[in-house]
Amino acid sequence: MVTHFDEKGKIFTDIVQKQPVWVTLQLSRSRIHGAIFIRNNERIKEVLDNAEPFLALTQVEILSIDGTKTEIKTNFLAVNKSKIIWLMPDSEQTSTEVK
């Protein structure tokens, strides 16, 4: 890890600090549950609005359209943002029906 200091003592590092946020998102033919990584003090909306056309997810479960059956599990999935119908962080979920 390379660390740089400016004349006032502020620390600069090459490592970008990100935190996982567990989300569920809906596509036209499936529902996806996994973790996205956002920078500290960044909102999910900012990740969705950036110019990158794909959203990277880790520890992914691809579910049936109604979310009741796990069809595929994978460690990584890139989803085209234009195909997302809705996205919800798990921390906002109040129903136990959605995984």
> Would residue 30 count as lying in a domain?
yes
Three-state SS sequence of the chain: CCEEECCCCCEEECCCCEEEEEEEEECCCCEEEEEEEEECCCCHHHHHHCCCCEEEEEEEEEECCCCCCEEEEEEEEEEEHHHCCEEEEHHHCCCCCCC
Q: pLDDT per residue over 41-66, tens digit each?
A: 899 999 999 999 999 999 999 999 88
Is 31 within a domain? yes
Indicate the number of domains in the chain: 1
pLDDT band, very low/low/confident/very high, at 94 (cuts 50, 70, 90): confident
Does 67 reside within a domain? Answer: yes
**Is 59 part of any domain?**
yes
Sequence-separated (6 or more) residues with CB below 8 Å from residue 41: none
> What range does the domain containing 54 cover?
17-90
pTM: predicted TM-score of the whole model, two decimal places? 0.76
11 part of a folded domain: no
Q: CATH no. for residue 71?
A: 2.30.30.100
